[in-house]
Structure 1
Amino acid sequence: MEDQAAESPYDLILKNVARFIDLNDEEKKLYISLLKKGSAKRKEFVMQPGEITKYEYFVTKGCLKVYSLDRNGVEHVSMFAIEDFWTGDMASFIGQQPSTYFIKALEDSEFLMINKENFERLFKEIPKFERFYRNLYQRSLVSYIKRANQGISLTAEERYEIFLSKYPHIANRITQKDLAAYLGITPEFLSMIRSKMSKS
């Protein structure tokens, strides 16, 4: 298998797209021409609340954290996006309304971006991309609903185990504090869970 690290950012995104739609060489060239490269240093913000989301992001290197703050200033992490993950604020991007989310780099990160104008142009010139993004957004919605249901029906320990089984490649790249904010518990409680699991 080809080492993913040796791939160009465009190879990575084209493989991602190919999971849902087939592109010919001309369509690939057009798609790549509509993308822009971006980067963020560790702890740098890619987006903050109040801003209208200008881009959809595809991570080619590093790790981004998407989160919000409640009225008490408590952090709630929505997702972690590493290589081969899409992220952003879909509602803000589509509706061009101010976002309520932060996107922050947890590592030095690189990504490919598509803006709203090129997003709309993509649908006109390569209509099959509507199917690609429909699949992308449907999967995102299903994941959100599953996670919401797990928050109601499962214990913190069960949610932690699911995270480890689903995202083992992310768990060792984030802090205990960030993982706790994703699970909706305190870092201290997560430490207790880890200690309990290590003894069982």
Structure 2
Amino acid sequence: MKAVPKVNTDGLYIEDTIVDDAFSGVVPFYVEIEAQAPTDPDESEQEPTPEDEQPEETLEPVIAGYLVGIAVTPGLYRPRFDLAAWEAYQDDLQAAESDYRQAYDEWQAQPEEERGEPPAYVAPEMPALWIEGLTPEEIEEITRPQPQEPTEVDLLKERLAAAEARNEQLAEESTINQFALMELHMMILELKEGGGTA
């Protein structure tokens, strides 16, 4: 068993799925069609008579996506399997095989002493089938450095700094109040002394 990519009908990667080790190529998978219950409750209770029975319509299966036997190219942000390139590659393979069979048949039709080397089959080069599914703008957006959320330690440091600043402010206010209180006390003493001699 091995994992292969599962893509939607646009070729965009969905997830991996487990298949047999011998699996290769590209194979469609279909939307599961659920049997519909009768809409009229009376219909479900009645047994259909043979003359009432109509052949069931065979619904055309709907392709939901594809299982792809080709590994995803690493480094893609949103892998997309190029289904059109795959189909073109399959056409090229068939054409190359047809050309080879024709050349081989022509070679074999020649007398043995005139044949020479048999033709060699040359498969077409497989194109890059996995491509980037995001636009350059979308890639730039997701790769842009994001502002980091402050950690709990950072938040505690900020709270400590704010508390220390508030503590200094209160200490200054307390010192000012003490001086004001001392001045007031001095004034009261002066008034008492000044008032007692008069």
With normalisation by structure 1, the TM-score equals 0.22
With normalisation by structure 2, the TM-score equals 0.22
Higher helix proportion: 1
Higher strand proportion: 1
